[in-house]
Structure 1
Amino acid sequence: MKKNTILHLLVLLLGFGAKSQELLTLENAVKIALENNYEITIAKNEVKIADYNNSIGNAGMLPNVSANVVNNNSILDTKQTQGDGTVRQLKGAKNMNLTYGVGLDWTVFDGLKMFTRKERFETLKQQGEANLKRTISTKISDVYATYFDLVQQQQQLQAIDTALLISNQRLTTAKNRYSIGKAAKLEVLNAEVDLNADISNRLKALEMYQMSKIKLNEILARDIMIDFTVEKEINIDPTLTLQPLKEAAEQQNPELQAQILNKKIAELQLKETKGNRYPTVRINSGYNFTRSEASLGFVTQSNGNGFVYGISASMPIFNGMSQNRNEKIAKIGIENASTQVSLFKQNLHAQLASTYASYQSNLNLIQVEDKNVAIAKQNLDITLAKFKIGTITTIEFRTAQENYVTALVRLSNAKYLTKLAEISLKELAGTLNLN
């Protein structure tokens, strides 16, 4: 590759991102996700549905009021024999009976099932809210992880840029040494090969960086081609401790809360099933208008209006042992729901413990890698100075250069992995937020 071509490409690569781009902060990314994400929208709508269902009317506590109209007509060939033996006969006799009015039907007692249903609807609403919180927490976690992955890749691109600058400086030095006869042509060629390798590495890293941008735009449910930059640093919270996380998880983990509410729903279903053992009492009332007409008979027309009312009661005595069977099934449902809660708590504690171990390990790793970066930078500075005066080989120089870049990448990876563990811990504890 010619010198001018290499330098031109180098300028393009180093200048990439220098154009004015939107700085997408973590706070704005979360805000956009909460507003746009489709799964969050669906979960919010599910809460609305549960809220609409959570009413005393849907639980059966209110009466049903309806307007009724009944109109029966007939055309009959009629023959009537009176008590004195007189026969009356009419072909095509028209008869009409009309009843209309307003009726009320109210179940005033059903074994307290209506109150249990209302409590179950309230619990279902709470469960929907817990599921919404879980969906929001999951999406925030996804935004965090992808966002800080971009920060990490951005840092690695900067490390590769540093390698490019050093490789270009090395190539310039090699050419100057070759021009005055202090170096062989092989030294220049090796420098060009290493520079090309660094350019290739940056192109690959840049491809991954662009793909991660598309992924974040997808999570934010916006145009995937929107270009942006992210913040430069990954801020770590080093103060997390395991016991407070466990206590918070017991109280705030949204999935655990949904499991506990599911157990409560199972208990309410048993209570509602037991309500079938008690009598059901209904009140019926209304105000009706009646009118009847007959072509043949002692009364050819009749009208009436007024209140009608009554009360009815029923109580199951035997239904083929269905009641006992349904109660046994409901009890098993409670047992299963309780087992699910215990199982989830066990898994939750295990996840917290393993993730916390990873969190602590990576915190220690950050300290080690930070020292390695300082040592590698010092070694590179010394090596570069020796290379300029020709006291070390190109292989030694390249090794020092690669060690420095590798140390930068390892430090970036350690910070990213620590941040992922921190995000997971806060998500499990139900405390994930922008702090």
Structure 2
Amino acid sequence: MNIKLVFLSIVMASQITLFAQELITPEKAIALALEHNYGIKLANTDVEVAKNNASVLNSGYLPTLNGNAGATYNVNNSFNEFSDGRTPVDLNGAESSRYNASVDLNYVLFDGLGRSYNYKQFKENQQLTELEARETIENTVIQLFTIYYNVAELIENNNALTKTLNISKDRLIRSEYQFDYGQSTKLEVLNAEVDINNDSINIMNSKQQLNNYKRDLNLVLGNTIAGDFNVYTEVAFNSLYNKSELLEKAKINNINLLQIEKSIAINNLGVKFQKSAYLPTLGLTGSYGWNKNNNNAASFVAVSTNTGFSGGLNLSWNLFDGGSTLTQVKNAKINLEANNIQKEQLQVTIERDFNNAWDDYQNKLNIYRLQIENIKTSKNNFDRTQEKFKLGQVNSIEFRQAQLNLLNAELSKNQAKYLAKLAELQLLQLSGDILNMAF
């Protein structure tokens, strides 16, 4: 009776959970992750910072305008003798003050094209940051569906385990009837009860795993799902991929390759920026100012006030800086050469990884197809064994083995299905096409 109650509570809990669950489709999961995933949010803030850095306000092309003002107050004791023979003046506590205000303009007319190359570097850095954000999104998609398909697999596994438990329950009822009518021993009943216990434990462990993975999935989705939820367990495979076309896409659109190409462009501009230090700098200055002086009694002028404009050009040319510029140019060229070497290495690595991913995908897809056929064989074997068991032609041990063979075949099929789908996603990520696929 206790076993029946355990089974009934498991079934009732499953029904209540399924009734309350929200269905999260792959499309909805992608939408939620793009909007709420914490890693993607952080990547987007980096993009915003890069956009600000690439703005004309940070380019050095605009002039600077400064406002200045000041005031000075003096109290001095002074003895003053005059060259024209006038009577000397002895002052104690003589007061004087000065006031000034100005607006100053500075503008670089030419700096050896340094700011031009620097501004272009900021633009390239913005694009590199956007590529890094795209890489974050691609990795998040892989992480998302790795967990998503773990949830889907466990849901299907729970269904298979529940069917196994139902079969074990029917077997227990049959064994109890047979024992009551003297057609079997108590051992058959005890064996059936042990198998029910094992099946119940498997379901509880599987449900615990499922709850853990659901929490992991919700975290990737930015913790946006308040209650329990379900996921879509059907997957579609596109077996019409052209290997050569995907490889060409990988050579052009792979995110890591695009990033190293952008780094090469940035370092190429870096070489030109360092060379700009060889050229002179020409600047324009302008100022409008007001100055007022209140002099002490010893001065010829009691109060003087000046206002007006001033302007000028200044030329600066660093003819020799001890070799610092030359060193920086050499290092910039070395960094550019290192980037080109990294690109060559990456191209070879991508081709190798793509071939491995292609073979892995084809292998896992074939395994999944074989597992589907294996299900049919295991199901046929179990049905035959079950009929013979009802007729008393096979014992409970043989029946249990056929039951477990069917269960293992279903679990292996479920695993193979989602492993094949993840292999497909990893292949598409290498080709730079994962964000364009239909889930």
Query: TM-score of the superposition, structure 2-length normalised?
Result: 0.93
Distance 1:230 1:123, change over 3 A: same
User: In 2, Cα distance between the equivalents of 1:217 and 1:109?
Assistant: 55
- Do the aligned partners of residues 161 and 69 (structure 1) sit closer, same or farther apart at CA in structure 2, a change above 3 Å counting? same
Gaps of 5+ in 2: none
Contact 2:160 2:407 in 1 (8 A): yes
Residue 245 of structure 2 is matched in structure 1 by 244
Question: Which structure 2 residues correspond to residues 395-410 of structure 1 after superposition, within 5 A?
Answer: 395-410=397-412
- Paired with 2:229 and 2:105, the residues of 1 have a C-alpha distance of 64
- The answer (yes or no) to whether the contact 2:152–2:232 under 8 Å persists in 1 is yes
Between the aligned partners of 1:379 and 1:333, the Cα distance in structure 2 is 66
Against the structure 1 CA distance between its residues 63 and 402, is the aligned structure 2 distance closer, same or farther, given a 3 Å change threshold?
same
Counterpart in the other structure of 1:17: 17
**Match of 1:174?**
175
Matched pairs, number: 435
| Other-structure match for 1:417 | 419
Residue of structure 1 in register with 2:363 after alignment: 361
Aligned partner (choices 381, 385, 388) of residue 386 of structure 1: 388
Deviation string 1:323-357 (CA, Å, 9 cap, x unpaired) is: 11111111122122223333333333322221221
Separation of aligned partners in 2, 1:65 and 1:3 = 85
SS across alignment from 1:107: strand
2:93 maps to 1:89: no
Contact 1:14 1:161 in 2 (8 A): no
Change beyond 3 A, Cα 1:294–1:3: closer
Counterpart of 2:46 in structure 1 is 46
Give, in angstroms, the shift of residue 136 of structure 1: 1.4
In the TM superposition, residue 312 of structure 1 has moved relative to its aligned partner by 0.5
Distance in 1, matches of 2:317 and 2:391, equals 105
* Letter of the structure 1 residue corresponding to residue 118 of structure 2: R
Over residues 173-224 of structure 1, what are the superposed CA-to-partner deviations in whole Å (9 max), with x where a residue is unaligned? 2223333333222222222222221111111111111111111111112168
Contact 1:103 1:285 in 2 (8 A): yes
| Counterpart in the other structure of 1:191 | 192
Q: Which runs of 4+ in 1 moved over 6 A?
A: none
CA distance in 1, matches of 2:163, 2:357: 34
Q: Deviation at 1:79?
A: 4.2
- Relative to structure 2, which stretch is displaced further, 178-187 or 356-365? 178-187
Contact 2:294 2:302 (8 Å CA) reproduced? yes
Structure 1, unpaired ranges of 5+:
none
**Aligned counterparts of 1:271 and 1:3: Cα–Cα separation in 2:** 80
CA contact (8 A) 1:218 1:224 kept: no
SS at match of 1:19: helix
Larger CA deviation: 409-418 vs 65-74: 65-74
Task: Name the SS for the 1:17 alignment partner.
Answer: helix
SS at match of 1:84: coil
When the two chains are superposed, the root-mean-square deviation of aligned CA atoms in Å is 2.1
- Contact 1:69–1:101 (CA<8 Å) still a contact in 2? yes
Question: Do 2:73 and 2:98's aligned partners in 1 also have CA atoms closer than 8 Å?
Answer: yes
Q: Which amino acid aligns with 1:336?
A: A
- Which deviates further from its counterpart, 103-112 or 135-144? 135-144
Partner of 1:69: 69
Report Cα offsets for 1:29-78 as digits up to 9, x if no partner: 22222222221111111111111111223221111111222334433334
1:24, CA displacement in angstroms? 1.5
Which residue is equivalent to 1:317?
319
Separation in 2 of the partners of 1:252 and 1:90? 87
* Counterpart AA for 2:268: E
Deviation at 1:13, TM superposition (A): 6.0
What is the CA–CA distance in structure 2 between the aligned matches of 1:271 and 1:56, rounded to whole Å?
Answer: 20
Q: Structure 1's 394 and 121: CA in aligned 2 closer, same or farther, altered over 3 A?
A: same
Letter in 2 for 1:334: L
Structure 1 residues 291-302: aligned runs within 5 Å? 291-295=292-296, 296-302=298-304
**Do the aligned partners of residues 74 and 354 (structure 1) sit closer, same or farther apart at CA in structure 2, a change above 3 Å counting?**
same
Relative to structure 1, the CA distance from residue 269 to residue 3 in structure 2 (aligned partners, 3 Å threshold; closer, same or farther) is closer
Given residue 318 of structure 1, which amino acid in structure 2 is its aligned partner?
Answer: F
Q: Once the two structures are superposed, what CA deviation does each residue of 1:294-331 show, in whole Å capped at 9, x if it has no partner?
A: 22232222222221011100101111111111111111
Aligned to 2:379: 377
Report the AA paired with residue 258 of structure 1: Q
Q: Structure 1's 294 and 9: CA in aligned 2 closer, same or farther, altered over 3 A?
A: closer
Stretch deviating more after TM superposition (230-239 or 122-131) = 230-239
Deviations 1:120-149 (A, max 9, x none): 111111111111111112112211111111
Distance 1:301 1:10, change over 3 A: closer
Cα deviation 1:378-425 (Å, max 9, x = unaligned): 111111111101111222211111111111111111111101111111
Aligned to 1:307, the other structure's residue is in SS state strand
Task: Give, in whole Å, the separation in 1 of the partners of 2:406 and 2:353.
Answer: 35
1:129 corresponds to: 130
Q: Please list the CA deviations of residues 348-376 of structure 1 after superposition, one character each: whole Å capped at 9, or x if unmatched.
A: 33222212211000111111111110111
Residue number in structure 2 paired with 1:58:
58
CA contact 1:217–1:226 (8 Å) conserved in 2: no
- Paired with 1:224 and 1:14, the residues of 2 have a C-alpha distance of 19
Equivalent residues in 2 for 1:153-168 (5 A)? 153-168=154-169
Instruction: Answer yes or no: is the 8 Å Cα contact 1:80–1:87 preserved in 2.
Output: no
Contact 1:148/1:234, CA 8 A, preserved across alignment: no
